[in-house]
Amino acid sequence: MSTVTNATNIFWQDCQLGKPERQKLLNQKGCVVWITGLSGSGKSTLACSLSSELHSKGKLSYILDGDNLRHGLNKDLGFKPEDRTENIRRTGEVAKLFADAGLICVASLISPYRRDRDTCRAMLPSANFIEVYMNMPLALCEARDPKGLYKLARAGKIKGFTGIDDPYEPPLNCEIEIKEDNGVCPAPNVMAGQVVSYLEEKGFLHC
């Protein structure tokens, strides 16, 4: 366990009952499905559809949604680069705990900086971090604009909005890419099916 802490005189406490026993109980393997993409790209839609699909298969998942976490755990953070970095780090640590609990943790955050996502990946055995890139054109996300935030950003009323005046760094080596097919975005259940197939193929849905 390599962690840098500010505290001294702390010790790692182990318990005989561990992840393997919890996984056996749940008949699944704990992992993190990390969904990244622009605002409006469909992250939350995919997270919900995926969670429902897994539930119907008797598999336990839990969604960590960026917007929701910012109402509690991450309420002290804004959208400055260092705040986004801390937002992702904290969420990565929580996701790691859920995966250790044996759950399929679905994290859905813009997570715009590659280095921050890679930091989360490094928190887990590499196969257990499944990065899903919502590769949707900015024009589509902006046309959707369900919260009217792009409009505000274009009007200069929100500063540092991802994709407008703050960068989004696409993954270079993600496990799953969701993109348009002939200019059409796949339906939510189709996007979820793509992820479920991956989880099935890699053995996460059984123990």
* Identified catalytic residue from 41, 61, 108, 111: 111
Q: Which long-range contacts (CB under 8 A, 24 or more apart) does 137-146 make?
A: 137/180, 138/38, 138/163, 140/40, 140/41, 140/180, 140/185, 141/38, 141/39, 141/40, 141/41, 142/40, 144/40, 145/40, 146/40
Residues 108-137 close enough to bind ligand PPS by CB under 6 A: 109-112
| CB 155, min distance to ligand PPS, A | 13
What does the block give as tokens for 101?
A: 């609990």
- Interface stretch with ligand PPS, choices 10-18, 84-92, 171-179, 191-199 (CB under 6 A): 84-92
Sign of CA dihedral 30, 191, 133, 81: negative
What's the rounded Cα separation, in Å, for the pair 93 and 86?
11
- The answer to whether 36 contacts ligand ADP (rule: CB under 6 A) is no
Pick what 160 binds: ligand PPS, ligand ADP, none; C-beta below 5 to 8 Å, kind-dependent.
ligand PPS
Strands, E assignment, the chain: 31-36, 61-65, 104-108, 129-135, 176-179
| CB 65, min distance to ligand PPS, A | 7
What's the rounded Cα separation, in Å, for the pair 108 and 204?
19
The alpha carbon of residue 124 and the mean position of all alpha carbons in its chain are separated, in whole angstroms, by 14
What's the rounded Cα separation, in Å, for the pair 117 and 133?
11
Pick what 161 binds: ligand ADP, ligand PPS, none; C-beta below 5 to 8 Å, kind-dependent.
ligand PPS
Q: Is 51 a catalytic residue?
A: no
- The answer to whether 45 contacts ligand ADP (rule: CB under 6 A) is yes
Cβ closest to ligand PPS, residue 43 vs residue 121: 43
- Interface stretch with ligand ADP, choices 121-129, 156-164, 181-189, 195-203 (CB under 6 A): 181-189
Which SS3 state, helix, strand or coil, does residue 124 take?
coil
Cβ closest to ligand ADP, residue 30 vs residue 40: 40
- The answer to whether 39 contacts ligand ADP (rule: CB under 6 A) is yes
| CB 30, min distance to ligand PPS, A | 22
Chain residues binding ligand PPS by CB under 6 A are: 39-40, 43-44, 66-67, 70, 79, 84, 87-88, 109-112, 147, 149, 158, 160-162
